[in-house]
A and B are shown apart, each in its own frame.
Chain A
């Protein structure tokens, strides 16, 4: 998972398919990020924030009870323990620092489940910037707590009323807004998607997940495991940012299997049809004419019909596999991890647990790292309705 050229390509995927108005801003962002990322002072400032503010490094937790139940050695990368409750903070702290370096005074963001919106609102509060978050009207209803949290942090939350009124429409509204405000506003995109340089830049801001995990695995497994590496690394994939982050620590190790877990109702890689939307060429859930279809998932954060272009490339090249899980499997996994380990996962992260639980036979005796990308507090109200008296 290396550095793309100025054309932003990962194999056949990626690029920058955006309105002409935005092209100069994206070129400026590419140049600014290249400069910042090779500037030791910028890296040091970000590292200080990640440790002193976000709480990194996040632990790697061994799940003894669940591992015993499933018959594998199970390790969780605890991104749920970061400030704001998910991996999203890694990326927004990086982008907010970069925006400040570029002289922008406002952040605009899209959000699905609200985790990226909360993280962006948090970074904006920390750095004294204005923050505007677009969120699908449907998602605002199912994630009311996060809406309040963003407003508490001083952000303006605006409903996306078009289309399916979920994450893809929030992206459309954020892009429309950015076209009108590009001169003083940075679009703080929340996943490894969109036009170049976002897929690459967001992956780099999340690379810390993979780097830490590789070091922690070496320390934990080194004496007893021949390579000091796990056999598999598993992560949920909507746009694919937490997966890109943890994969980046293992992509060069061919003996480590990389598994991305998609919701069955929004499996962009699974459907495998290339398309161009939101500035990128990637796999896209679409009809025969190229109209984008609505993804359907129990988890608002994975309710997205596309996927980051580097994941499309990792799939096409065979380096990573992408597999679907059903909403019911996710609900079961949500309960399973809560009951066996005392960790309530985000519904997004529960997708990765669900895949491990379902595939227990092929995983028997192997060492599996799951990126637990977020905590489940935001999902408790929704799960209370779904599970009701069954507990």
Chain B
């Protein structure tokens, strides 16, 4: 199933979309993905670890380092994803050099053959994404674009028009990581993106608690939850603990 279809149907039924993020390739990660799906994720974002993740804070950096130390490669993550069926669509998130080295076209075809619905490449902005987007579209891989608070209205129009699957609204000026309070920029960018697109608009970066998720979903169609889940995975190594945390977000969003 495509990301757009899965998230769109949740929204059309009046619900809010929940997309947890987990770094691929450390510990019992595929079981953790299953636990997240069972706990009510609408889709899952899987990080392919990179040596120099400039959009990521310390927690995801640590998970990436651990995964790389375990010998994780782009191919090993895609191979593992090809062998599991979680019943929800998967998006891979990584940095462009790994995809460039793999070969844009080969990566897109391999991802599609591995049942990966979508790709998120945070260091491949609008001006540079043409070559990749073309082969991704052809292979049936949805390229999710990021909408940042710094974008002008004109730029935002072009970003949402190029996005597939959903629009990833960046909740604050900064990198991934937990924050005590929801940034005031989060609802603003969600609103600005929503009035421009039929695609679901999900807010990520800096959404750390179920209460913050509920608050931002007053405007947004859903949330991407990363560092708090990865931290739980790092600290416990337990798929059950990860599933339980995802469940608290699911319950909060369903109660509204």
Chain A positions within 8 Å of B, measured between CB atoms, are: 7, 15-25, 162-163, 168-169, 172, 175-176, 179-183, 274-279, 281, 284, 286, 288-292
When distances are taken between beta carbons in the complex, the residues of chain A under 8 Å from B159 are 20
Flag if B101 contacts A23 (CB, 8 Å): no
Nearest CB in chain B to that of A281: its residue = B100
Flag if B97 contacts A286 (CB, 8 Å): yes
Nearest CB in chain B to that of A28: its residue = B150
Q: Tell me the complex Cα distance, A290–B97, Å.
A: 6
When distances are taken between beta carbons in the complex, the residues of chain A under 8 Å from B53 are 172
Interface residues of B in 112-155 (CB under 8 A from A): 122-128, 145-152, 155
B49–chain A nearest beta-carbon distance, Å: 9
Name 28 A/B residue pairs within 8 A (Cβ), A-sorted. A16-B127, A17-B96, A17-B123, A17-B124, A17-B128, A19-B122, A20-B145, A20-B159, A20-B170, A21-B173, A23-B125, A23-B127, A23-B151, A24-B148, A24-B152, A163-B51, A168-B52, A176-B175, A179-B54, A179-B173, A180-B173, A183-B150, A277-B97, A284-B97, A286-B97, A286-B101, A289-B75, A291-B98
A15–chain B nearest beta-carbon distance, Å: 6
When distances are taken between beta carbons in the complex, the residues of chain B under 8 Å from A289 are 73-75, 98, 101-102
Flag if A24 contacts B151 (CB, 8 Å): yes
Say which residue of B98, B100, B101, B174 sits within 8 Å of A179 (CB atoms): B174
Q: Tell me the complex Cα distance, A15–B174, Å.
A: 22
Say which residue of A15, A281, A292 sits within 8 Å of B52 (CB atoms): A292
On whether A276 and B126 interact (CB within 8 A), knowing A21-B150, A289-B73, A292-B51, the answer reads no
Query: Looking at chain A's contact residues, is the secondary structure mostly helix, strand, loop, or mixed?
Result: mixed
Q: Tell me the complex Cα distance, A7–B198, Å.
A: 30
Q: Tell me the complex Cα distance, A182–B172, Å.
A: 11
Flag if A24 contacts B74 (CB, 8 Å): no
When distances are taken between beta carbons in the complex, the residues of chain A under 8 Å from B54 are 19, 172, 175-176, 179, 278
Most buried by B among A276, A281, A286, A289: A289
Say which residue of B51, B58, B97 sits within 8 Å of A276 (CB atoms): B97
B147–chain A nearest beta-carbon distance, Å: 7
Query: Does B68 sit at the interface, judged by CB under 8 A?
Result: yes
Query: Does B50 sit at the interface, judged by CB under 8 A?
Result: yes
Which interface class (under 10, 10 to 19, 20 to 34, 35 or more) fits B? 35 or more
Q: Tell me the complex Cα distance, A175–B122, Å.
A: 13
When distances are taken between beta carbons in the complex, the residues of chain B under 8 Å from A172 are 52-54
On whether A290 and B100 interact (CB within 8 A), knowing A20-B151, A20-B170, A21-B173, the answer reads yes
Interface residues of B in 54-69 (CB under 8 A from A): 54-55, 57-58, 61, 68
B39–chain A nearest beta-carbon distance, Å: 29
Flag if B123 contacts A276 (CB, 8 Å): yes
A305–chain B nearest beta-carbon distance, Å: 9
Q: Tell me the complex Cα distance, A168–B50, Å.
A: 14
Say which residue of B52, B55, B61, B97 sits within 8 Å of A19 (CB atoms): B55
Chain B positions within 8 Å of A, measured between CB atoms, are: 50-55, 57-58, 61, 68, 73-75, 96-102, 122-128, 145-152, 155, 159, 170, 172-175
Most buried by A among B57, B61, B99, B145: B61
Q: Tell me the complex Cα distance, A23–B125, Å.
A: 8
Most buried by B among A163, A168, A181, A276: A276
On whether A18 and B125 interact (CB within 8 A), knowing A172-B54, A183-B173, A291-B50, the answer reads yes
Flag if A19 contacts B128 (CB, 8 Å): no
Nearest CB in chain B to that of A24: its residue = B150
Most buried by B among A16, A17, A278: A17
Q: Tell me the complex Cα distance, A292–B75, Å.
A: 17
Q: Tell me the complex Cα distance, A163–B53, Å.
A: 10
On whether A17 and B174 interact (CB within 8 A), knowing A290-B100, A290-B101, A292-B97, the answer reads no
When distances are taken between beta carbons in the complex, the residues of chain A under 8 Å from B98 are 289-291
A137–chain B nearest beta-carbon distance, Å: 14
Nearest CB in chain B to that of A6: its residue = B127
Say which residue of B51, B74, B96, B148 sits within 8 Å of A20 (CB atoms): B148
Q: Tell me the complex Cα distance, A179–B174, Å.
A: 5
Flag if B150 contacts A182 (CB, 8 Å): yes
6 shortest interchain CB distances as A-B pairs: A290-B101, A180-B174, A21-B148, A20-B146, A291-B51, A20-B148
When distances are taken between beta carbons in the complex, the residues of chain B under 8 Å from A21 are 146, 148-150, 170, 173
B133–chain A nearest beta-carbon distance, Å: 14
B130–chain A nearest beta-carbon distance, Å: 11
When distances are taken between beta carbons in the complex, the residues of chain B under 8 Å from A163 are 51-52
Most buried by A among B54, B127, B148: B54
Q: Tell me the complex Cα distance, A183–B148, Å.
A: 13
Q: Tell me the complex Cα distance, A290–B102, Å.
A: 8
When distances are taken between beta carbons in the complex, the residues of chain B under 8 Å from A276 are 96-97, 100, 123
Nearest CB in chain B to that of A8: its residue = B127
A8–chain B nearest beta-carbon distance, Å: 9
Given contacts A15-B127, A289-B98, 4 further A-B contacts (CB under 8 A): A20-B126, A163-B51, A179-B54, A275-B97
Q: Tell me the complex Cα distance, A289–B102, Å.
A: 7
Nearest CB in chain B to that of A288: its residue = B101
Say which residue of B55, B68, B150 sits within 8 Å of A25 (CB atoms): B150
Q: Tell me the complex Cα distance, A162–B149, Å.
A: 27
When distances are taken between beta carbons in the complex, the residues of chain A under 8 Å from B173 are 21, 179-183
Say which residue of A15, A277, A288 sits within 8 Å of B128 (CB atoms): A15
Q: Tell me the complex Cα distance, A160–B130, Å.
A: 33
Q: Tell me the complex Cα distance, A7–B175, Å.
A: 25
Q: Tell me the complex Cα distance, A117–B33, Å.
A: 43
Q: Tell me the complex Cα distance, A181–B57, Å.
A: 15
